[in-house]
Amino acid sequence: MSGCFTVGLVGASGYAGQELCALLAGHPSLELTRCWSARGEGLGNLVAEGAPPIEAWDGGQGVDAVLLATPHGVSAPLAAEALEHGAKVLDLSADLRLADRALWEQTYGHAHPAPELLPEAVYGLTEFAREAVAGARLVANPGCYPTSVLLAARPLVEARLLEAGAPVLSDSKSGVSGAGRGGSDTTHYGNVAENLRAYGVGTHRHAPEIQSHLGGPEVVFVPHLLPCFRGILSTLYLTPAAGVDAAAVREALAARYANEPFVTVLPQGQQPELRQVQHTNRCVLGVEAVGPRVVVTSAIDNLLKGAAGQALQNLNLMLGLDETAGLEQRPGLA
């Protein structure tokens, strides 16, 4: 594949890893040439049609870029090794999303495995970090819930359209794939079907990430588990600043994202649905007034815009490619 960059992937057997395999298989300028296991599991097995066999981790040698779709606490040491071998690194885990080491250790409950990387890592919320991502050799891919909330709220905070001191209330709901492939009693089909529940109330690890990268107002974040496989719908309850109404909020979001290929702001009277974004790298936003408050609703696919799709968007920029390359497909799982 002349003119292509080579890519290696750790974690190809997980949900995000499988999505990355599917995306890379159709990419015009990237070739997935190595798949590694950080745990020595499944060696020699194909993880997807056309993907290379899984090998034991060797430090990330022989590729232009390494994608890490591994659990928190595992990725950062692998990132350090891959950087030493000259690869650019994009980490889909939470290891490098918080620049504050003390906050990371408080959130995740153990010492950070590679704190020396924290000052260098770029938080890859692409629409707000495009230039930094393009010049980076190490990018931390945002979490799925934070992506849905930040794309909806950050332009409003930056434009000072929200009342000072009023909290941002986020009622966020995700399909079960957000919990990963491992599964638990909580995500067992019999406990999810015909059911809806809040979880991690006041303790979810994405809350500090949202707060850290939103700044400004206090964020009250409550996640829920939906009886579906993929997608996130975040509903934000906001108090606008004096003189700001829903129309002004909608106009501000529309202006901020007017030239963004993957963010759409709906007209008044329309609300996003999961089926509008599933199997895509899109975020769809809706805005309405509820009395004096403004409600902004945000829909993404947690496995794509919330993980593999945003990762590829960032990797394209890191390698000097069109950021939309390979993202017009509808690949992946059910």
Annotated catalytic residues are 144
| 3-state SS string for the chain | CCCCEEEEEECCCCHHHHHHHHHHHCCCCEEEEEEEECCCCCCCCCCCCCCCCEEECCCCCCCCEEEECCCCCCHHHHHHHHHHCCCEEEECCCCCCCCCHHHHHHHHCCCCCCHHHCCCCEECCHHHHHHHHHCCCEEECCCHHHHHHHHHHHHHHHCCCECCCCCEEEEEEECHHHHCCCCCCCCCHHHHCCCCEECCCCCCCHHHHHHHHHCCCCEEEEEEECCCCCCEEEEEEECECCCCCHHHHHHHHHHHCCCCCCEEECCCCCCCCHHHHCCCCCEEEEEEEECCEEEEEEEECCCHHHHHHHHHHHHHHHCCCCCCCCCCCCCCCC
Classify the C-alpha dihedral 155-178-273-261 as positive or negative: positive
- Whether residue 281 contacts residue 304, with contact meaning beta carbons closer than 8 Å, is answered with yes
- Whether residue 268 contacts residue 295, with contact meaning beta carbons closer than 8 Å, is answered with no
Rg of the chain, C-alpha, whole Å: 19
